[in-house]
Amino acid sequence: MTDAPNTVQSADAKTVKEWYDRNEIVLVDVRETSEFELEHIAGALLLPMSSFDAEIFPVIPGKNVVLHCAIGKRSEAAGKMLLSEGHPGAIHLTGGLDAWKAAGFPTEVQILPPNEQTPAPVFLCPPPGHILEKEYLKPLNIAADALSRHTGISPSTVDALLKGETPVSVELSLRLARYFSTAPDFWVHLQLDHDMERARHEMGEEIRAKITPRTAR
């Protein structure tokens, strides 16, 4: 775990699992409800970023709070919100739920009835525009036209971005980062994570079937 001052502390999946097994922490999932219902860590509390309020976040005596999301982006942002309100020891799970599963730790998965049609996949890494709307515009009460005025992004591009119809370019990432005081590459990394997950859904099996790793030959 890192402990640099004025930064969000981070802990890897193995460390968080050890703390959790010893009942030393409260694990808080900051993903959205649809993501949580699809799959989550047993016993984790749900507090979506879309309704996350650092001002009224409870202090739990004797226990640290560890925040997690899908890949660690949103949980780190939530940790920064807690730090800004004076909550000590904000910790987030590095790599999020992806890292937890990669370490071999269990999750609870939604089980559908056998006769129920398989739903469309729910992406653990949603389009950046969805995160922009749920975790920034709505909580801060910022309208799309106001975002356009303040960032210089055209209204049509803002609309397409919120609908998930246009990707975040490097320029858009810089403009959004400047306005919301995030890291310059924060938004473009969200886009990359979403694109990678979508590609895995669409062609991952085909790629694994057709390409043999060089080291396996």
* Same fold for the pair 9-109 and 128-210: no
pLDDT of residue 120: 53
Of 175, 200, 78, whose CA–CA distance to 134 is shortest?
78
**Where in the chain are the domains?**
9-109, 128-210
- Tell me the sheet residues that pair with 25: 64
Task: Give the chain's residues under pLDDT 50.
Answer: 1-4, 118
Per-residue confidence (pLDDT) for residue 172, from 0 to 100: 95
- pLDDT, one tens digit per residue, over 69-81 is 999 889 998 898 8
Q: What pLDDT score does 14 carry?
A: 96
Q: How many other C-beta atoms can be found within 10 angstroms of the C-beta atom of residue 212?
A: 9
Domain 9-109: top CATH class: alpha beta
- Backbone angles phi and psi of 187, in degrees to 5: -75, -35
Structure-token pair, residue 57: 């976040």
Q: Is 156 in contact with 167 (CB distance < 8 Å)? A: no
**CA nearest 10: which of 18, 23, 21, 1?**
1
Could you count the other beta carbons within 10 Å of the beta carbon of residue 94? Answer: 19
Beta bridge mates, 100: none
Q: What is the pLDDT of residues 131-164, one digit of tens each?
A: 999 889 998 999 999 999 999 999 999 999 999 8
Superfamily per CATH, domain 128-210 = lambda repressor-like DNA-binding domains (1.10.260.40)
pTM for this predicted structure: 0.54
